[in-house]
Amino acid sequence: METSPLAQRLATRFVAGENLEQALGVARSLNAEGITVTLDHLGESVSTLAEAAEARDVYLRTLDAIHEHGIQGNASLKLTQFGLDISYPECLANVDRLVDRAAALSSFVRVDMESSDYTDRTLDLVKTLHARYGATGVVIQSYLHRSRADIESLCAAQIRVRLCKGAYLEPPAIAFPAKADVDKSYFELTQYLLLHGTYPAIATHDEALIGRICAFAGERGIPKESFEFQMLYGIRRDLQRKLVSEGYGMRVYVPFGKAWYPYYMRRLAERPANVFFMLRNLFR
């Protein structure tokens, strides 16, 4: 699949390219439209510490390139790509190097959230590195029952949160199974972040929900520059441009790398709704 010209054309709809230079080209184009980026090098769930070190080095080059080329953007990563399944201390050491570099460059590293098996370790690592450098934040998923308590703790520590709905298949004891409950939780958590958070990132493509969020912010007198919306590369470009034209901050999540096929298959296999989401936006 990864060497098929047809499959590669499909992948480029949602993935910026196989290498950093291609990702930087996409980032420049988005910056020219007033959109900032977060670059994500694909390749989660490594099986050796050597692979984790390679991922670390790619991200170090990415942070340097963002700075050297004047890109308005930062980096996002998954801890399983940095050895979390193999060794927590080694994973912490790898990510520590990145956040240290980001702080020196006045940049930022966002740690993505994976399945609930990783939530506690992810939050522990982010809190540790935020206390050292301050140049890191984390993702919280609104479909988890625990997310309100996690967000309150993160806001108290002034750690930046990106809020998403959640893409992993979780049991009802851990996550809301019904979309209506996930949406309700998302809106309530967004309200809390807008009132108490540090530059929250509202990551959703749900236009109706975005309208409610904008209305809430306007009613409460929350400045548009105090938060941002985030969306995926290749998804709802029309809505991205609309929000920028209205004065809202917009950041696009730009994945790149050769491991795009596992990235797609993992997302599509985890939840059937992801298949329909991608197909809708492929033909939109």
40 is an active site residue? no
Can you tell me the distance from the alpha carbon of 49 to that of 125, in angstroms, rounded to the nearest whole number?
18
The amino acid at 31: N
Tell me the mean pLDDT per 10 residues along the chain, length 284. Answer: 72 85 97 98 91 97 98 97 97 98 98 97 98 98 98 98 93 96 98 98 96 98 98 92 98 90 65 66 64
- Annotated catalytic residue, options 56, 162, 236, 251: 162
Q: What is the pTM of this model?
A: 0.92
Which pLDDT belongs to residue 167? 85
Q: Quote the distance between the C-alpha of residue 247 and its chain's center.
A: 21
**To 10 degrees, what angle do helices 207-219 and 179-196 make?**
30
**For residue 241, what are its two tokens?**
């441009």
Which pLDDT belongs to residue 273? 65
Which pLDDT belongs to residue 270? 55
Which pLDDT belongs to residue 45? 80
First-to-final CA distance of the chain:
24
Q: What domains lie within the chain, and their CATH numbers?
A: 5-283 (3.20.20.220)
Helix/strand/coil percent split, the chain, to 5: 55, 15, 30
162 is an active site residue? yes
- Annotated catalytic residue, options 112, 160, 183, 251: 112
Which pLDDT belongs to residue 93? 98
Which pLDDT belongs to residue 284? 64
Which pLDDT belongs to residue 181? 97
Which pLDDT belongs to residue 274? 60
DSSP category for residue 144: B
